[in-house]
Amino acid sequence: MPDSDEQRELLRAIREVARSAGQGHIERDAAGEFDTEGWKRLCDVGLFGLPFGTEWGGLGQDLVTTVAVLEELGYGCHDTGLTFSATTHLVSTGVPLHRFGSADLKSRYLPGICAGTTIGAHAITEPGGGSDMTGMRTSAARDGDVFVLNGNKAFVSNGPIADLIVVYARTGEPGDIGGLTAFLVRRDSPGVTVGQPVGKLGLRTSPLAEVFLEDVRVPRDHVIGGIGAGFLVFDHVMQWEILCGFAVTTGELRRRLERCVEHARSRTQFGVHIGSHQAVSHKLVDLRIDVETARKWLHDTARRAQDREDVAADIATTKLIVSEANVRSALAAVQIFGGYGYTTEYGLEKELRDAVGGTIYSGTSEIQRERLAVLMGLDRPLTTTGKKGRTWQ
């Protein structure tokens, strides 16, 4: 955990801003509205520059500190859609640009990413493609000093509000893991069309849309990580996405546990507080175990990743533990609050709807289990690379 005065001050500032940024979340969820004012508050505290160099306007914090700060964001902010959009922006565009972008790309775009005035997204999944990344059909054909992109991307979080989109496209043969390339595409490029916002079960305040690419001409110098390095870029981004996104979720778990304990201590039934009933108290104990387990895996994995250790299994395990604990926690909260938990007024039914998404995005629970099976040396069916157990998404 952060131990310097600067890092502790950053945590304190995030706590204060997070509380104000989440106000009105129930009404925005019902309307499916993105919180522009809340986004500005996160900009003001420097959230979007957390792990990026000070030369581009970032805060220059390490991964462990970034994860700790994002956990505090999740703890304080009740607008899960806003926090989801924030981590999507930071990770989908800022991380690959910072790690793999050229000096020119960084100088042109990272300051806006760090300030939050330029909003980022990434376009990976395709209609009918699901987790099969190497089978994607979006193509990028070389034409002199530009690439011409054609294709259709689905489930693009931040799509309706994005200024920059990292698009993954095929530059090689279908099924070839080395045939994918990441491109930094400006939203205002001719041929880029963003569809209407898509309605969702949860995370309704985080806008989602399809992105259509028709003869979009992208300069060669907007390639991120080199031609054919798309899977390498993607794999790095996924590590950050899971650690940062589920750091926020871990904060939500902490907040929900505290709220449930407080309710159990104050709510009276049959002349006693409901927390004195074994059925309720044991449920709360299970929630506490989930919180402590999630925090341990999250922070241990972040520390190991920062030390450049092999965290492939840890990342998949962390994602499974935190995402599935979140669903259990949200469902338990609805049950503990009873009829009140089922109403929209208390916001708990919204938290349950939001929690379901965590078992799907950033690689489904099934994909994470498949990945762990591969890492355990178990024989798997042929993957899209044509080799046993060599890739995942």
Catalytically active residues are: 241
Question: How far apart are alpha carbons 195 and 320 in whole angstroms?
Answer: 31
Question: What one-character DSSP code corresponds to residue 202?
Answer: S
Tell me phi and psi for residue 176, to 5 degrees: -90, 120
Name residue 212's beta-bridge partners: 152, 193
CA angle 235/151/212 to nearest 5° reads 100
- For residue 3 the two structure tokens come to 């131990």
Question: How far apart are alpha carbons 341 and 334 in whole angstroms?
Answer: 4
Question: How far apart are alpha carbons 207 and 85 in whole angstroms?
Answer: 8
What angle separates helix 5-21 from helix 36-44, to the nearest 10 degrees? 170
Question: How far apart are alpha carbons 198 and 187 in whole angstroms?
Answer: 18
> Do the Cβ atoms of 72 and 22 come closer than 8 Å?
no
C-alpha distance from residue 215 to each of 141, 162, 219 (Å) = 10, 20, 13
- For residue 122 the two structure tokens come to 């990434």
Question: How far apart are alpha carbons 28 and 39 in whole angstroms?
Answer: 14
Parallel/antiparallel/unpaired status of strands 164-170 and 146-157: unpaired
Burial annotation 28-37 (CB, 10 A radius, 16+ → b, else e): bbeebebbee
